[in-house]
Structure 1
Amino acid sequence: MQSVRDFNAGLLDFLQASPTPYHAVESMQTRLAKAGYLPLNEKDAWQLEPGKSYYVTRSGSSIIAFTQPTEAQALEKGVQLVGAHTDSPCLKVKPQPELHRHSYAQVGVEVYGGVLQNPWFDRDLSLAGRVTYRTDKGELASCLIDMKKAVAIIPSLAIHLDREVNKQRSINAQLHLPPILWQEAEGEKFDFRVWLKSWMLEQQLVGDMEKIHDFELCFYDVQAPALIGVRDDFIASARLDNLLSCWIGLQALLEDQAPGSLLICTDHEEVGSASACGAEGPFLMDVLSRMFPDSETRTRVINRSLLVSADNAHGIHPNYADRHDANHGPLLNRGPVIKINNNQRYATTSESSAVLRELALLEDVPVQAFVVRSDMACGSTIGPITATNTGLHTVDVGVPTFAMHSIRELAGSQDAWYLYRMMTRFYRDCPRLNG
């Protein structure tokens, strides 16, 4: 098993290499292939062999990896599933984004998910995502891009022009969030697709390109992930929610390719998961149906299985402690958080929670619990959605975090490693409930 130092070093590299869900899935594919996992294509017939490990992607932004068990193994202990999501709140470029205002070339953006908007101002922003284009031969193709360099910024309005800004700041996403790319020369007319095509050809990302048809691009902060604090107590980064959980699940899966181990990381959780590649879509059941073609066997296997839905939790903020239930305020670096909500915003039950608590005991790591204040609304995860669609026994767990949905979030440098140890044990030797 990795040390906490090596685990966190790998996490920081993964976060840096994954500015979008497409890049995260590409990075995970590379690591799975290196570990001997075989690629599958949903368009092909599958011939799965017990003991062999596979991975399959959908839409380029969701991925499932698993080791095929024998039918006897599956009927004995079911499948051990860890689920996370690849997407994070961000600003996405609109299809016709060109804005020309007072000589500045800007792009219109759409807010994706529950973005905490204030922190996006005065950041060095780059662009990444997927571009679909027509080749010189008339064929359609797609490729991933990551500009890496800071190419845009959203400047704040000076306090002299908004004296009440520190008391109240209201952001209009349509008016105030378009980033500035450059200042246009006299008579210059900014065309986003022309500029993007020129950049891609200059970078030699494609061999030939007639025109760009469309794109799915988002802005991101170029500031690198880092361990921070006098004692390196914290991890600061964009997209901790929820690439941190993707990394935990991936590293636990690669630790021991145990038959029946499965990792699913899906897109679009931040906007409700209702898509072909989201947790509300058929991706997981499609894969389970091909792993276990017989419906009777599949139903029995699902009933013996457990899904760990891994998604970040809200740590108690020392400056805003009143926003938590006093008995359920998770602390950073004090262990993973079991998330409970009796209105089914989380899928945890007393039985599924007991399995996680047992794993924590076996690995000698701390564990905490989170319940939202009774007078506040509760967020949700892929847990209840997946449980509803599949019938899987499910538990919701996550690493406590500050500034969730900000452009730069904060987590404890010990907690992800704690959860990784628990998930490694979960895949290798999951405690079973009697009955």
Structure 2
Amino acid sequence: MSKDFIEEYKEFLSECKTERECVSEIVRMAENAGFRDVMKCDSLKAGDKVYSVKMKKAVALFTIGTSGIENGMNILGAHIDSPRLDVKQNPVYEKDFLVYLNTHYYGGIKKYQWVTIPLAIHGVVCRKDGSVVDIRIGEDEGDPVFCISDILPHLAQKQMKESAAEFIPGESLDLVIGSGIPRRKGDDKDDEEKKKEKASAKKAVMALIKEKYGIEESDFGSAELEIVPAGRARDLGLDRSLILAYGQDDRSCAYASVRALLEGGCGARTSCCICVDKEEIGSVGATGMGSHFFENAVAEVVARLPEGFSELSLRRCLANSSMLSSDVNAAFDPMNADLFDRANASFLGGGIVFNKYTGSRGKSGASDANPEFIARLRNILDAAGVRYQMAELGKVDQGGGGTIAFEAAKYGMNVLDAGVSVLSMHAPWEITSREDIMQAFGAYKAFLSLD
């Protein structure tokens, strides 16, 4: 079971590098497990399984419990967006015989980590006639890949004196997507010929794009294209104890949460798993946890139950719910040990990580879990033989981070951050432990059984 689960997890990471790809695969998995679109259901009863999707980038799954919905739900909440580069609306340009794709980075990245590595393009282009073209270039063996160039060390004296935050400007993170052939120096050409020649490489690239995808340059204005590391998830280490992959923050927790719900049965309380977008930029937008998507999805469920809908029933349901904010934590890094309080750090292979509070420095922006709730979880996980560790993100004054927990806590429910340790978090390639993935899966299953 463990080996199969990990191989399926790696396949998920390899195939699902955008929010849309994640939602599509999660819906496929859910429908195979007997889930239906809640909007296609007239009524619901105990044991029914339904899902709700928002803009193809957020999804909520529900297994209806036997007790009244006002008693609350057990919720697993994760996010499926990851740091990356997004393609701008007017992106294609040529500069001195090289053709570039202009980008805008998304989420907290170290910009220098994204240069000189193979990159792929994933996403959609929406035409004015309503048709949608799926784009995925750089993943198949025969595909070309893309790259952001960098200065050779021989000429990098000025660059090497600048800070890491400055020596790769955000506006320099543009993808090389083609090239032309410069004219020989001394060629005698008039201004009109030079002008035509200057844009010839871009025209050739756009002609290729139009031929293969039927896309005009203006169609980039209604596109959603993401630049991600090219390549598949791999085992890391001679003992294969670790996993190297893009997007493990937070798709490690999202995948384990979804699988826990799909493989769980009908309990007293309704089980829910929500996977949202935009966490890496503040949980904003229509598909982020800060939107009304989750509340609206729960309302659709409540409206189809025998008790019927009322605003009070919805509010009681949310306030009486319990949630694990399934999000990752920074793994202790022996090469940078001075950044961590070792006694309160999480270690690769140590099991699922509980963060009582997140936030930064003086707990700014934190969701601080109630100790009574943590005690209940400790009890059930000990009984289930699940390994867990209590930790913080790093030393108090070093920085910090947040999750979707504070958004769920607004409803008055119990919320605790619980996820997988990640080394090299937010890098193009992140490291997790196979053991931790399995322990997180076990913890999520045990949590969903809470009465």
With the length of structure 2 as denominator, give the TM-score of the two structures.
Answer: 0.86
User: Using the alignment, how far apart are the partners of 1:24 and 1:193 within structure 2?
Assistant: 29
Q: What is the one-letter code of the residue matched to 1:142?
A: V
Q: What is the one-letter code of the residue matched to 1:190?
A: K
SS across alignment from 1:361: helix
8 Å contact 2:159–2:167 — kept in the other structure? no
User: Using the alignment, how far apart are the partners of 1:46 and 1:376 within structure 2?
Assistant: 52
User: Using the alignment, how far apart are the partners of 1:196 and 1:312 within structure 2?
Assistant: 38
Alignment-derived partner of residue 332 in structure 1: 348
Alignment-derived partner of residue 284 in structure 1: 294
**Equivalent of 1:151 in 145, 156, 161:** 145
SS across alignment from 2:378: helix
User: Using the alignment, how far apart are the partners of 1:34 and 1:349 within structure 2?
Assistant: 37
User: Using the alignment, how far apart are the partners of 2:52 and 2:70 within structure 1?
Assistant: 23
TM-align CA RMSD: 2.4
Q: Which structure has the larger Rg over C-alpha atoms?
A: 2
**1:337, CA displacement in angstroms?**
0.9
8 Å contact 1:84–1:265 — kept in the other structure? yes
User: Using the alignment, how far apart are the partners of 1:384 and 1:97 within structure 2?
Assistant: 36
**1:253, CA displacement in angstroms?**
0.7
Establish whether residue 74 from structure 1 lines up as the match of residue 72 from structure 2. Answer: no
SS across alignment from 2:398: coil
**Equivalent of 2:373 in 349, 352, 361:** 352
Alignment-derived partner of residue 230 in structure 1: 238
Alignment-derived partner of residue 435 in structure 2: 414
**1:145, CA displacement in angstroms?**
2.4
User: Using the alignment, how far apart are the partners of 1:212 and 1:127 within structure 2?
Assistant: 13
Unpaired segments ≥5 residues, structure 2: 183-196, 303-308, 358-362
Alignment-derived partner of residue 295 in structure 1: 311
8 Å contact 2:352–2:418 — kept in the other structure? yes
Establish whether residue 87 from structure 1 lines up as the match of residue 100 from structure 2. Answer: no
Using a 3 Å threshold, how does the CA distance of structure 1 residues 245 and 193 change in structure 2: closer, same or farther? farther
8 Å contact 1:403–1:410 — kept in the other structure? yes
Higher helix share: 2
Identity of aligned residues (%): 22
SS across alignment from 1:337: strand
8 Å contact 2:58–2:275 — kept in the other structure? yes
Establish whether residue 57 from structure 1 lines up as the match of residue 53 from structure 2. Answer: yes
8 Å contact 1:124–1:150 — kept in the other structure? no
With the length of structure 1 as denominator, give the TM-score of the two structures.
Answer: 0.89
8 Å contact 1:237–1:410 — kept in the other structure? yes
**Equivalent of 1:258 in 266, 284, 296:** 266
Give the number of aligned pairs. Answer: 414
User: Using the alignment, how far apart are the partners of 1:69 and 1:238 within structure 2?
Assistant: 35
Unpaired segments ≥5 residues, structure 1: none
Alignment-derived partner of residue 28 in structure 1: 26
1:386-410 Cα distance to aligned partner (Å, 9 max, x none): 212x222111112111111110000
User: Using the alignment, how far apart are the partners of 2:313 and 2:432 within structure 1?
Assistant: 41
SS across alignment from 2:202: coil
Alignment-derived partner of residue 306 in structure 2: none
SS across alignment from 1:114: coil
Alignment-derived partner of residue 274 in structure 1: 284
User: Using the alignment, how far apart are the partners of 1:352 and 1:24 within structure 2?
Assistant: 30
Which residues of 2 match residues 11-26 of structure 1 at below 5 A?
A: 11-26=9-24
Establish whether residue 190 from structure 1 lines up as the match of residue 202 from structure 2. Answer: yes
Using a 3 Å threshold, how does the CA distance of structure 1 residues 350 and 197 change in structure 2: closer, same or farther? farther
Using a 3 Å threshold, how does the CA distance of structure 1 residues 193 and 173 change in structure 2: closer, same or farther? farther
SS across alignment from 1:247: helix
Using a 3 Å threshold, how does the CA distance of structure 1 residues 35 and 287 change in structure 2: closer, same or farther? same
User: Using the alignment, how far apart are the partners of 1:330 and 1:145 within structure 2?
Assistant: 38
Q: What is the one-letter code of the residue matched to 1:4?
A: S
Establish whether residue 373 from structure 1 lines up as the match of residue 395 from structure 2. Answer: yes
**1:336, CA displacement in angstroms?**
1.1
8 Å contact 2:90–2:221 — kept in the other structure? no
8 Å contact 2:119–2:146 — kept in the other structure? yes
Q: What is the one-letter code of the residue matched to 2:130?
A: L
**Equivalent of 1:38 in 25, 36, 51:** 36
